[in-house]
Amino acid sequence: MTYIQTPTTPPGAVHPADRTPSRARLVRTARRHALGGLVAAGLAGAVAAQPEPTVYVQPEVARAPVGGTVDVAVDVRDADNVGAFQLTLGFPAGLLAYEGITVGPFVGQTGRPVRALPPIIQTGSVTLAVTTERGAPGASGSGTLARVRFTAIDAGEGPLDLVEVLLSDADNGNRMRPRATGGRVVLGPIVTPTPTPIRVALPMAFLGVGRDALPPPATAAPASATPTAPPATVTPTPTTPPPATPTGEASPVPSPTATVAATPTPDKPAPKLGELQCRTTNEWVSIVNTGGAALDLEGWMLFSTTGIQTYTFDDPYVLEPGASVYLHSGPQAPRTEGNRIRWTQNYIWNEVDGDTAQLKSPRPNSVVIDTKDCE
């Protein structure tokens, strides 16, 4: 009997029958590759469909007269799972005076506790960094990140630039730079309403004419004498003296005196407390002269009832009618210039339980003229 020996395949070698892939294997491989391509394409489409977050200044153009308030918001849209952010807003320092910045409601909308670091204020820019504590999901969608307030100090136009903006993921802290769009400010001159002419009815003293130059008051003409008929003659008796015979003159009647209205004097100064900015690195209180005459503030005092701190105007400082002066305090208090005075670079109005500002008249008879609460 003849045996035919069948060749065996050594371990690890490829059998000749397996060297050529079968049709079924080719189909399976193609299906796997096609499925992988579809998944990859789907993921790429999903990523492409996710819009890029945008941070922008609202309104695009802020308008105000000189001396007015300029409020702008820094908003975000198309955000996803934001847990922290940082932004720097640039502004024209020659046109705007920075007043304060507050955190908007967006980053804390899911209930995560919000913590804002003290803002960094420099000439022409303010930087704010805000974080939240873990727990709830991050903020998504659209909303306001921060609100910034300025005072217009000169007329002109200038940009509001978002120089540096970072958004941080609430889960892993990864940072991203969104698209940033700034805005502009248009500041006009002070608009003074044209007064209605009242030259005829205006008292002479108000026009600067002294009392000596006033025309003599009108004098009522004396009452004309009206003769009366003589009374019947009474025959005198030895014991009764004859009655006095009235003359033809009229009985004396008090002459009416023309009444001259009291000449009003110009309005007196009326200092009042304007605004009180509390708990910022640049605190301030404004004093406004609401009267119609100039006021010299020398000797006047601004008093903090909680901190027991007093600022006294030691030198003459004339506040014209309608004008204001600002007393700044805090680490970022600006240098004294124009109508802005640096009181101190220590905090004054940062008490947790609140504080009250009092405006006091000069000594020795000092009294509280006005108050303003810092709540």
Residue 137: CATH number of its domain:
2.60.40.680
* In contact, 97 and 150? CB cutoff 8 Å: yes
pLDDT score at 134? 85
Domain of 280: which CATH number?
A: 2.60.40.1260
CA atoms within 13 A on the CB side of 319: 26
Last residue of a domain, one of 155, 188, 221: 188
Last residue of a domain, one of 139, 165, 188: 188
Residue 209 lies in a domain: no
Q: Are residues 175 and 291 in the same domain?
A: no
Q: Are residues 291 and 184 in the same domain?
A: no
pLDDT score at 306? 86
Burial of 54 per CB tally in 10 Å (0-12, 13-18, 19+): middle
pLDDT score at 250? 47
pLDDT score at 354? 85
pLDDT score at 10? 55
Residue 150 lies in a domain: yes
Residue 48 lies in a domain: no
Q: Where are the beta strands (DSSP E) in 91-238?
A: 96-103, 114-116, 120-122, 125-132, 139-152, 156-169, 175-176, 179-181, 183-188
Residue 198 lies in a domain: no
**pTM of full prediction above 0.75:** no
**Widest Cα–Cα separation across the chain:** 210
pLDDT score at 324? 95
Q: Are residues 184 and 288 in the same domain?
A: no
The CA distance from 136 to 315, in Å, is 56
Residue 1 lies in a domain: no
Residue 242 lies in a domain: no
Residue 168 lies in a domain: yes
pLDDT score at 225? 45
Q: Are residues 61 and 183 in the same domain?
A: yes
Residue 224 lies in a domain: no
Number of domains in the chain: 2
**Length of the chain counted residue by residue:** 375
Tokens of 40: 């990859």
**List of the chain residues with pLDDT < 50:** 1-4, 6, 14, 17-18, 35, 38-39, 43-44, 46-47, 200-202, 204-209, 220-221, 223-227, 229, 234, 245-251, 253, 257-265
* In contact, 56 and 178? CB cutoff 8 Å: no
pLDDT score at 50? 73
The CA distance from 357 to 180, in Å, is 40
Alpha-carbon 102 to chain mean position = 11
pLDDT score at 1? 46
* In contact, 79 and 141? CB cutoff 8 Å: yes
Q: Are residues 168 and 277 in the same domain?
A: no
- Structural domain of residue 121, as residue ranges? 54-188
**What values do phi and psi take at 48, rounded to 5?**
-65, -30
Last residue of a domain, one of 188, 205, 221: 188
* In contact, 302 and 327? CB cutoff 8 Å: yes
